[in-house]
Each structure stands twice: as C-alpha cells, then as structure tokens.
Amino acid sequence: MIYRHTCSNGLRIVLEEMKAVRSLTIGIWVRTGSRMETISNNGISHLLEHMMFKGTVNRSAQEIAEVFDKMGGELNAFTSKEFTCFYAKVLDTHKHLAVEVLADIVINATIDDEELAREKQVVKEEIHMTEDTPDDIVHDLLEESAFPHHSIGLPILGTKENVQGFSRDELLQFKDTFYVASNIVISVAGNVEPDFIQQIEKDFSKLSSQPLHMNWETPVFTSNQIVKQKEIEQAHICKGYQGISMQDDNIYSMLLVNNLLGGSMSSRLFQDIRERHGLAYAIFSYHSTFLDTGLLTIYAGTSNEQRHTVDQKIDDMIEELWTQSITDKELTNGKEQLKGMLMLSLESTSSKMSRNARNEWAISEHPTIDQVQEEIDQVDVSQINHVVTRLFERGTAHATITPSSLG
C-alpha cells in the first residue's frame, strides 16, 4: 500500500509498506542538479551534497557517521542531472533516529570553511578519477553534444576551476534557494506504518516554505559531434538519439526498443557486433529519462582501427530497425524480459523508495505493478514503430574519445 501526504509547508511524503522485510529506506529527493546550474556555477549541487555530511549545528561529521554505524545502517547521497538524494537504509527499529538525523543534515548543515577547503580537494580528485576513465567521461561528452545550449548537457561534477572557486556563502545561498519544502519529496519504503508520516512531517517542519520559481525550458536535441584524444588503448564511441520523458505515454515502448537494440545479451547490437563479428567487448544501449526529455545512448569500446567499422555497423542496425518492423517473437520476448527486469528490480526497499520518488516528481501517480505489466502487455508493433521513428528522425549526436598515439 502506498500513502501520499502533502504537508502544510508544501513538502510531499510518499510511504510504501513492505511488511515482509525488517528494514526501510528513507530518501530525501531535492530537485536540484546540474540542470539547475549555469556554466559559472556548474558543480555546485554536487559539492553541496558532499558538504551536507560535514556537520550540523547539532552534530559533527564524525557523530553523524557514528550514529549510522551504531545502527548498522547505511547513509549516503548522490547527485544527478535533476536531483540530489540523501538516503538511509536502517532496521525498522531505528527509523525514528534515522529520519531525525536526515532532517538535521538537510536543514541544519553548517558548511564549515575548513571542511569546505578539504572537501574541494576530494571533489577535484573525483573529477580527476572520472577524467582517467574514458568509458565514463565519453557519456558526459555525449550529453554535451546532444544538448549544447542547455544546462542538462553540463557535467554533474562541474569543473575543477568552479569547485575551487565556490565560497561558503555561495553554497549557503544555493541551499537556501533550492532546499525548500516545495522542492523536496521524501520517499519511504519498508516495514513501516503510515503513521510514521507524522514524525517525518514534524522533523521536517522547519524547512523553508518559501516558493521556488524555476525558469524551466525544455532541452532541444542537437545532432552535434565531439571528438577528443587521450593516451588510451581503445576508442570509446557514444551515439545519442532524442528520447522521451518520464511522463510520456510511450515510455514502455521506448524501454522495449532499447532492450531490443542493445539492452541485453540477446539484443541486436550485442549479437552482431560482439558475438558475430568480435569487434567489441563492451557494446550496449540505455535510455535516460528526464522530467521533460530523454536520451537513448549507444556505447561501444573497440580498437581505433575498428572504430569506423563499428560506427557503421551501429548505423546499419539503426537503419534496419527503422525500415523493418520487429518480429512477433522479438516483441513477445521483449515484453517478458522487461516485466521480469521490473519485478526483480523492485525486490528491495531502496529500489521501491527510488521508484516512488521518481513517480511522484514525474507524474504524481503510483501505478501498481499489475498496472505496469498490463501497459507493457498492451504495446503493439505499431507503437514500437512510432517510437523508433521518433527516436531516429532527428539525427544523431556523437561523442568519441580516440587514442592520441594512434590518431
């Protein structure tokens, strides 16, 4: 059973009971990420996420860590393009203390200057680590290529120069702007009763009720190309296509197309490029859904000598999918695969917490698993063809990193 509640200050709470487990996961989802930034403050959401754990007016950073270690729980956070999420997974007996500490972190973080100086170094090392991982950074380059005139194309970590330049006052001002009740969804899933909502509302009652007005512009997909060189052995190829948003009625058709194309070991790309021709070890696709757009990404890692061959084979596979309908067998198998993946992904409290938070933000509804399975079963070949046309008619964004020693 899923319960929804909107507090007097505008905070939204979603709670799902899972009586068969002895734990729960609590997630604080703040609508802020690199999409809400500019070139000049790119990276501030991620740095602020790090700093929220560095002490509050009530607890030091060490005390925060010790509280969750003593509970045997997990405390962590992440920043994405559109969200920053702080989450805790604990035994149900520790739920009251867990939500109290999470509220303390989100509301009362102090952003100490000395801690900030140290954490800047940590984040810069994180950026260095990403730059040394070409099969990671090429995906950032693709998003920059696909959305060059929109902040959704900015990297989540920002730049080293920006990170070094942020002041405590800038972080606090950013926090005061975005960490307001109307811009937060709290999602809880696990062995918890619905009356737990009352404690959450009480602990987060001091959140600012100040309204947040965003200049929300839908990103425009662009067929650009970015090529960079690094001292590496392989070429890393990313190709991107205009996807669809979380709110789109064709979302399950899109997921089926992705699985058919490169989302599994039986997919067309994997079977052709890896299994049949041995041109790549890693070849896959995935669909990124945002609040009002999406991006289908195809990635391949191959030798520099073979990259043009791999690139052409991907184009050939796209052309074949676009001009020839999928078979009934492919559609049936794809539906069963997607339903199985969905069911397996929702066996944990963490995954249900995340799913409910994203649904609350995107559609303000919470379809049951049976309803989702029914929607998947209703997808037909004409809907698949419609999504394929939408995907590929707007061209291709490219990002490639090649070995500098090979040209």
Using CA atoms, how far apart are residues 340 and 291, in angstroms rounded to an integer? 25
CB 360 within 8 A of CB 28: no
Residues sharing a CB contact under 8 Å with residue 183, sequence separation 6 or more, in sequence order: 30, 31, 32, 212
Using CA atoms, how far apart are residues 299 and 136, in angstroms rounded to an integer? 10
Name the catalytic one among 37, 49, 330, 360: 49
Q: Report residue 171 as tokens.
A: 């972080």
Using CA atoms, how far apart are residues 44 and 293, in angstroms rounded to an integer? 23
Catalytic (active site) residue 114: no
Q: Report residue 190 as tokens.
A: 């696990």
Closest among 399, 81, 80 to 240, alpha carbons compared:
399
CB 87 within 8 A of CB 26: yes
Closest among 375, 359, 335, 338 to 247, alpha carbons compared:
359
12-17, strands of its sheet edge to edge: 2-6, 12-17, 184-190, 23-30, 84-91, 74-79
CB 175 within 8 A of CB 44: no
Helices (H) and strands (E) in the chain, counts: 15, 11
DSSP 314-365: HHHHHHHHHHSPPPHHHHHHHHHHHHHHHHHHTSSHHHHHHHHHHHHHHTS-
Residues sharing a CB contact under 8 Å with residue 111, sequence separation 6 or more, in sequence order: 48, 51, 54, 168, 171, 172, 175
Closest among 224, 292, 298 to 267, alpha carbons compared:
298
Using CA atoms, how far apart are residues 342 and 374, in angstroms rounded to an integer? 13
What amino acid positions are annotated as catalytic residues? Answer: 49
